[in-house]
Every structure is written in C-alpha cells, then in structure tokens.
Chain A
Amino acid sequence: MKSSTLSRGKPRQQGWTPLQTLLQNPGAWNALMVAVFLLGGAWILFSRIPPAETTNGAPPPSPREGFSAPDFTLELLGDGGEVTLSDFRGQVVMVNLWASWCPPCRAEMPAIEQVYQDFKDAGLVVLAVNTTYQDTESAAAAFVQEFNLTFPVPLDRTGAVSNRYQLRGLPSTYFVDRQGVIRSVVVGGPMSETLIRSKVEDLLAEAP
C-alpha cells in the first residue's frame, strides 16, 4: 500500500485504537450511535428542571446579570433625605458607582447626565452612588456642581453597598429593569453615550 501523503513516516496499522476498530465496523458504529442517543436523551430528561421549580417569581439577589439587584437604602448628598432602590420597581434604574478622583468616572458623567435628560420622562432613574468611604462628601459635592448633575447622588459612607455589589473597579454600572432584575453590568469606563443609550432603550421599551 502506498503511504498517503498525509500520514507521517510509515503507514499506520489499521485499527490502532479501539475506537478505530469500532469505526471500521458499520454495524458496531450504528449501535454506538443508538447507545449515545439513548444515554444522552436519558441524561437530558434526568437533568431537566421541572417547570414547577422555575415559576417561583423573582430571582435571588446578587450583583450579576439575571439576578435581582440587591436592595439598599442610602442618604442623599446635599439636603439629606434617603433613597431606596426597591422604591423604583416599575422603572428602569441605572446604578452607577463612582468616586470624584476616578478619571473614567469624570469622563462618563456628562454622557450619563445627557442620557438622563433624554429619558427621564420615559421612566429612567439614575442613582449615582458615590463611594464616600473612599472619597469625601465635599469632593463629591464639588464634582456634582462641576458637571451640573441633576440626578440623585446617594452616599455609600460605610462601603456596605459597594461590598454588596462586589465592586471590583470604578466606575461600575448596573442596568436594572422594571422588575428589579439586573440586565447588564459594565465594569470600568468611560461608557460612551451610545453604550448607555443602547442599554437603556431596550429596558425602557419593555412593558411596565
């Protein structure tokens, strides 16, 4: 037998592995396919999730896509007052974690303000949570004034909210739908206005 151009060195012995022996016997190979079909089908049926277990309402809270946004109540910058995330159920909420010393946070704030102006009447809420435990209230206030921010700025004084949201980098933004479920997480920045609009538009289009 002429050695094929593709095999290296001397031609290999036929049936050099059990699998190849099996492949040379069409009957055995068909039996293998049937066995795989039956085993695989059985595994699929065994591992399905009974519909009764999937219709039990909202997903558990965790700072990740597909989970409920962990709830928080924080004091607001300025004239005081408090804000609670779950009060905005039924609206689209953008939770943005920032600090005044963080350059990409500075870079993206004008875009957030612009999108907020465009969509606040359509039901968009922005909560720009200042990570006050690693910032100062006066710096945060100056920042808000500098960029003429009109949305509420809750203060995370203890770091509890940042911790609950497993903050890994600033800025971090969580897009929360009308059911209170996180639909998109953007870590790092700056986000462009286009990015924010593309994330927000879909959620606003959903039925309340």
Chain B
Amino acid sequence: MRRRLSAAGVFQGVWSGFVLLFLIVPILVIAPISLTSSTQLTFPPPALSLRWYREVFADPAWLRGFRLSAGIAAMTTLLATALGIVTALALVRWRFPFRKAVYVVILAPMIVPTVITAAAISFFFTAVGLRGSLAAFTLGHTVLALPVATIILAATLQGFDERLEHAAMSLGASRVVALRRVTLPLIAPGLVSAAIFSFLHSFDDLMVSLFLATPRVQTLPVRIWSAVFYSVEPTVAAVSILLIGVLILGLGLVQVSRRLPGRGLEGR
C-alpha cells in the first residue's frame, strides 16, 4: 500500500514538473534566440549579439508599428476604463430586472470567437469608410477591452462598502465629492488593474487589427504576424522580448497597486 502511494506521488511530481517546464520553457527560449548572432534559429546561439534588437530599432516599420500600437492601446485604456467604471457601478449597485441578460450582452465580446467579432467590426468600419483609421482601431479594441475592465471593476466594487460613501455624504459631502474623495481612492487598485489589462488587451490584439489594417497602417502584432507568416526570423524574437517586457511591467504595476489599498484615506 505504502509503495503504491509513493509510486503515485513520484509519478505526480515528475508529471507536474514536466508540465511546468512545458509551460515556461517556450517563453524562456525566446530570450537566447533574440540574442543570437546568426540569421538561423539554431540553439544554442553560436555567439551572443544585440544585432536583432538593433535591427528592430533601426527599422522605421517596426517603430511605427510599436508607436501605433502604444497610442491605440492608450486611447483604448481611457475609453474602456471610463465606460467600464460606469457600467460596473450600474451592474453592482442597481438591482434591475434581466440582470443576467444584461451581463451576457456586456460580456459577449469575451465569449464570441474574436475572429467573428473582428470580421463584423471590420465590415462595419469599412462600410462607414473608417478602415485603417486610428478611431476604428481604438473603437474596435474597446469592444474587446470593455468586458475585461467591467469584470475587474465590478469585482472591486463588490468588495467596497457603500456605507463609507453614505457616511461621507451624511457629513456633508455631495455625491460627486464622496465618489471622488472616498470611493475612487479606495477602488484605485481595481482601476489600475482594469486600465492595465485594457492596455494589454489592445496592445496584444491581432484579430481586430488584422481586419482593420491597411498596407500602410499596421499595428505591432500585425507586423509580427506578417513577419512570422513568411519567415521565422530572429527579429521577431527580439520584438517578442520587448512585448514580454511590456507584459511583465504591466503585471508588476498591478501587483504594486494591490499593495496600496485605500491609500487616499489616511492621506487626506
């Protein structure tokens, strides 16, 4: 009996280790590939060099893509977080009929396969003549980011004691002042998370951008897509490392913001 238990335990440990390696190795492998001196993707790299990073930073097309993606993601963040906070307030505080139906509609863009949403949005913006415009990318990305922001903010608001707001108002604060000076500082970590995940959703989106892009206006993921589609070159590894850097920065900021709950309260 004991022997079988330990055999099962060993199997489990080995299997779990294998799966964890399976999860992490592909991401770790990109780093040495991006530092290779060779044009081949041989592993390990024959010698280390920064040539692919130089290549990326010297290529105006990559830089344009990066700037375009960052700009679109910034605007999407503002729009999705603003709409998300208002929607989340309504969902959490207002006990209305058909709540579940409304929930499903708001979360639908997360559930519907992105290729469908992207196709539908591109038909729409092409019909109104906005394909390839900054507005189309931003409005399209916000459709995908809004449910994410709303879920995070709704979860945050659920944990917020509404009576604090009432207390502020009973002490003479107007509704707006109570919201600004009591509620907002307290839900700040949730707001930061919502903003960062909105940003990442837009920054990483390929599908909507692919359908809205024109040969002249291409976001970073669209450029990566065309690069990978035709050849698996190390430039993409360098760009990938930069993308992972943005991701780690974002997730780090989320962690930091969680350490500062209700900072505004004592501060004022």
Q: Do the two chains bind? A: no
> Which B residues are closer than 8 A to A by beta carbons?
none
